[in-house]
Amino acid sequence: MNKKINTSRLNLRSFVATDLADLRTVVENEKIAKMAGFRVAANAFESDYFLQQLMQANIWAVTLKTTAKVIGSVGLYPVVNDKQEQDSQKLELGYMLNQDFWGNGYMKEAVQAVLRHLFQEHPDRIVTASTYSKNSRSVAVLEYFNFKKIGEQTLPRSVLNPFPQQESYYQLTAQAFMEGGHYATH
């Protein structure tokens, strides 16, 4: 169970079963799915399966303080090395946001709160992230928090991507996060 985190405009909490209707607007949106690299949910059953996965993975639901509406998610996922062992130093940041709320700074606010929470408790951790290079909004969020680009590769065509995609890889330390001035509260 994730610790609840509050910011000036958002509450971050664990997902619950009653979040399905709000989550459907995110995971059934083809544009969001394409940019985030997951297969769009085709119906309520697939959306419910997605919700169950988020609940099991302890991902935060990003909710508006004013309405309690779920507008997205943010989470830190275990990183597995080449030997299929969990890397105890690294976590991977992942997030998605309802398209109706893009351009309002909500994801920056949520990511800042999660990173601050992590680095206050575990300053030795390294956070990684990956995004399609053409996803300029996601790239902007990562660069805002001082993530450093550490590589990129072209992903081959797949079920999710009918055309090859360029993916960029990023990394962030607590020191780089602090140097970016992001320990201040929202």
Closest CA to 57 of 102, 30, 93, 83: 93
> 118 with 90: CB under 8 angstroms?
no
Which whole-number Å values give the CA distances from 138 to 38, 85, 142, in the listed order?
Answer: 15, 28, 6
Question: pTM of the full predicted structure?
Answer: 0.90
Specify the residue for token string 């943010």.
Answer: 74
pLDDT 10s per residue in the chain (186 long)? 578 999 999 999 999 999 999 999 999 998 898 888 788 899 999 999 999 999 998 799 999 999 999 999 999 999 988 788 888 899 999 999 999 999 999 999 999 999 999 999 999 999 999 998 889 999 999 999 999 999 998 877 665 555 667 889 999 999 999 987 766 554
What is the set of domains in the chain, with CATH numbers?
5-179 (3.40.630.30)
